[in-house]
C-alpha cells in the first residue's frame, strides 16, 4: 500500500464523533454545543504549558471542522462507511474499489470547492491528496525574539572577565491579561466569525482555496467582548527587568556575547529568545592590546639602552616581571614576556609585548652636560649619517 493510501485510511479511520463526544446522528446544534464546551476547557490560552490539553484542543478543532459542516459531514460519513465495508482507495486511477472489485470515480466523490459552492470534501482533504492548502494552521510553540543590548566594561574586566547587571526592556505577554487580550475577570467565547477555527477560507478561483487568519480573533479562536485596557486587546506589552550577564575573560571590544534564554518570552509555551550583548571595552592608561597579546611601552634611559640593564616591567593582573635589556638595545625594540597576555578559549594565554622607548632628557644639569659633551667628543669620528648621502 502506498504512503498516500495509508494516509487516506488513517483519515477514514478517525472517529470525529467520538472526539467530540456526540452520537453519529447528533444534530448540528448538539455538535456545536459539544465543540464549544471542549474548546473552552482545552484552549491553550486557558491552559498554558499543558501539552495534553493543547493536543486535545487541536483534535477537537479538527473534528468540528469536518462534522460541523453539513457537506463535509455527509462525505465523511460516506467515506467511513466505504472504508469499514472493506473498500480501499485506488492508486493511479483515483478510484475506489470494494471487496467485490467494483469501483467508482474518486473525482465524483471528491468534488472540488468550486463545483460544490464552497466547503467541499476536496477542501477538507486538500492537503491529503496534494491539492489546496493545509486544512488547519496549528498554534505551535514559538521561540521568543532575541534582545540586543550594549555593555561598556573596563580594560581590566575585559581581560579577567566580569558579571554585569543589565536593565532590559523587551516585548512580552501583557502582565494584566497574561497575553489573552481580554479584560481581566471576563470570560472569552468562541469567535463567531471563524466559529473557533482561527482562520477563514477564501476562494482563489477554481478548485483552490486559501486559509487566512481570522480578522476578528487574530487566530486565537476565542474573543473577549471587553478588551484588556492595558494592551487594548493585542495581548502584548513591554517587560522591564534586570538580569546578570557573565562576560567571559578575554573578550574584545565589539565582540557580541550570546546569553541563552534571556531574551523575549516565547509564545504558546515556546522557549525564550536569547540576549545578545555587544561589548565595548574602555582604554587603559598603561596597557594596550594586539589580538591575544597585551602591549606596554617601557621608558629606558640612554645609559640603560647603551650599557644594558635589568628593569622592572608591570603586568596587568600579577606581580611585575624583570626584563633584561642587552647592551646596545636600540629604541623601539620589543621584548616578549610569555604567558602574561589575554586568556584564550583553550585556557592558554597570550604574551606581554614590552617595547623600549629611549628617553632624551629635556634639561641637563652641569654634571650630566659635561658627561654628554665628553661622550660627543669621544664619538665624533663615527659617521652616523654617511649612508644618507651614498648614491
Give pLDDT tens digits for 200-253. Answer: 877 655 555 677 888 877 777 788 888 888 888 777 777 678 889 999 999 999
Q: Which fold has domain 3-124?
A: Helix Hairpins (1.10.287)
Residue 28 confidence (pLDDT) above 80: yes
Is 169 assigned a ligand-binding role in the annotation?
no
pLDDT digits 0-9 by tens, 193-214: 888 777 887 765 555 567 788 8
Place of cell 659617521: 383
Res. 308 pLDDT band, cuts 50 70 90: very high
Residue 358 confidence (pLDDT) above 80: yes
> pLDDT value at position 277?
95
Is 214 assigned a ligand-binding role in the annotation?
yes
Distance CA 69, CA 117 (A): 13
Residue 362 confidence (pLDDT) above 70: yes
HEC profile for the chain? Answer: CCHHHHHHHHHHCCCHHHHHCCCCCCCHHHHHHHHHHHHHHHCCCCCCCCHHHHHHHHHHHHHHHHHCCHHHHHHHHHHHHHHHCCCEECCCCCEEECCCCCEEEHHHHCCCHHHHCCCCHHHHCCCCCCCCCCCCCCCCCECCCCEEEEEEECHHHHHHCEEEEEEEEEEEECCCCCCCCECCCCCCEECCCCCCCCEEEEECCCCCEEEEECCCCCCCCEECCCECCCCCCCCEEEEEEEEEEEECCCCCCCCEEEECCCCCCCECCCCCCCEEEEEEECCCCCCEEECCEEEEEEEEEHHHHHHCEEEEECCCCCCCEEEEECCCCCCCCEEEECCCCCECCCCCECCEEEEEEEECCCCCCHHHHHHHHHHHHHCCCCCCCHHHHCC
Q: Which fold has domain 142-178+235-283?
A: HSP40/DNAj peptide-binding domain (2.60.260)
> pLDDT value at position 210?
73
> pLDDT value at position 196?
78
pLDDT digits 0-9 by tens, 73-128: 888 888 777 766 655 444 444 444 443 334 444 444 444 433 444 444 444 444 33
Is 228 assigned a ligand-binding role in the annotation?
yes
Is 279 assigned a ligand-binding role in the annotation?
no
pTM for the model stands at 0.52
Is 191 assigned a ligand-binding role in the annotation?
yes
> pLDDT value at position 86?
55
> pLDDT value at position 101?
39
Please measure the distance between the N-terminal and C-terminal CA atoms of the chain and give it in whole angstroms: 94
- For residue 72, is it left (φ>0), alpha (ψ between -120 and 50) or beta? alpha
> Nearest 5°: phi and psi at 186?
-100, 160
Closest CA to 200 of 217, 180, 188, 222: 217
Is 194 assigned a ligand-binding role in the annotation?
yes
Residue 167 confidence (pLDDT) above 90: no
Residue 332 C-alpha cell reads as 623601539
Judge if 3-124 and 288-389 fold alike in CATH terms. no
Is 284 assigned a ligand-binding role in the annotation?
no
Give the CATH number of domain 288-389; options: 2.60.260.20, 3.40.50.10190, 2.160.10.10, 2.40.40.20. Answer: 2.60.260.20
Residue 367 confidence (pLDDT) above 60: yes
> Nearest 5°: phi and psi at 260?
-65, 135
* Domain positions in the chain: 3-124, 142-178+235-283, 288-389
Amino acid at each position: 500500500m502506498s504512503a498516500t493510501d495509508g494516509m487516506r485510511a488513517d483519515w477514514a479511520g478517525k472517529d470525529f464523533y467520538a472526539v467530540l463526544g456526540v452520537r453519529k446522528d447528533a444534530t448540528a446544534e448538539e455538535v456545536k454545543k459539544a465543540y464549544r464546551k471542549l474548546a473552552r476547557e482545552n484552549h491553550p490560552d486557558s491552559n498554558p504549558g499543558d501539552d495534553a490539553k493543547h493536543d486535545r484542543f487541536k483534535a477537537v478543532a479538527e473534528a468540528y471542522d469536518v462534522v460541523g459542516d453539513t457537506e463535509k459531514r455527509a462525505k465523511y460519513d460516506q467515506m467511513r462507511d466505504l472504508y469499514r465495508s472493506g473498500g480501499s482507495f485506488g492508486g493511479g486511477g483515483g478510484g475506489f474499489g470494494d471487496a467485490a472489485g467494483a469501483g467508482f470515480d474518486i473525482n465524483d466523490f471528491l468534488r472540488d470547492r468550486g463545483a460544490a459552492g464552497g466547503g467541499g470534501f476536496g477542501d477538507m482533504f486538500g492537503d491529503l491528496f496534494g491539492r489546496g492548502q493545509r486544512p488547519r494552521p496549528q498554534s505551535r510553540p514559538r521561540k521568543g525574539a532575541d534582545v540586543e543590548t550594549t555593555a561598556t566594561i573596563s580594560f581590566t574586566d575585559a581581560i579577567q572577565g566580569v558579571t554585569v547587571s543589565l536593565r532590559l526592556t523587551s516585548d512580552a505577554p501583557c502582565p494584566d491579561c497574561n497575553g489573552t487580550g481580554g479584560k481581566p475577570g471576563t470570560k472569552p467565547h468562541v469567535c463567531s466569525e471563524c466559529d473557533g477555527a482561527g482562520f477563514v477560507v477564501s476562494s482563489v478561483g477554481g478548485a483552490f482555496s486559501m486559509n487566512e487568519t481570522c480578522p476578528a480573533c487574530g487566530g486565537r479562536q476565542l474573543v473577549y467582548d471587553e478588551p484588556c485596557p492595558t494592551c487594548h486587546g493585542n495581548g502584548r506589552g513591554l517587560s522591564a527587568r534586570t538580569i546578570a550577564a557573565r562576560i567571559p575573560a578575554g573578550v574584545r571590544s565589539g565582540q557580541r556575547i550570546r546569553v541563552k534564554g534571556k531574551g523575549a518570552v516565547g509564545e504558546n509555551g515556546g522557549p525564550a529568545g536569547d540576549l545578545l550583548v555587544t561589548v565595548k571595552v574602555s582604554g587603559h592608561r598603561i596597557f594596550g592590546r594586539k589580538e591575544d597579546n597585551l602591549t606596554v611601552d617601557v621608558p629606558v634611559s640612554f645609559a640603560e639602552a647603551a650599557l644594558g640593564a635589568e628593569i622592572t616591567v608591570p603586568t596587568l593582573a600579577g606581580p611585575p616581571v624583570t626584563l633584561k635589556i642587552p647592551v646596545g638595545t636600540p629604541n623601539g625594540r620589543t621584548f616578549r614576556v610569555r604567558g602574561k597576555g589575554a586568556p584564550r578559549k583553550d585556557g592558554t594565554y597570550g604574551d606581554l609585548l614590552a617595547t623600549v622607548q629611549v628617553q632624551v632628557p629635556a634639561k641637563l644639569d652641569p654634571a650630566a652636560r659635561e658627561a654628554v659633551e665628553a661622550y660627543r667628543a669621544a664619538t665624533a669620528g663615527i659617521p652616523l649619517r654617511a649612508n644618507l648621502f651614498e648614491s
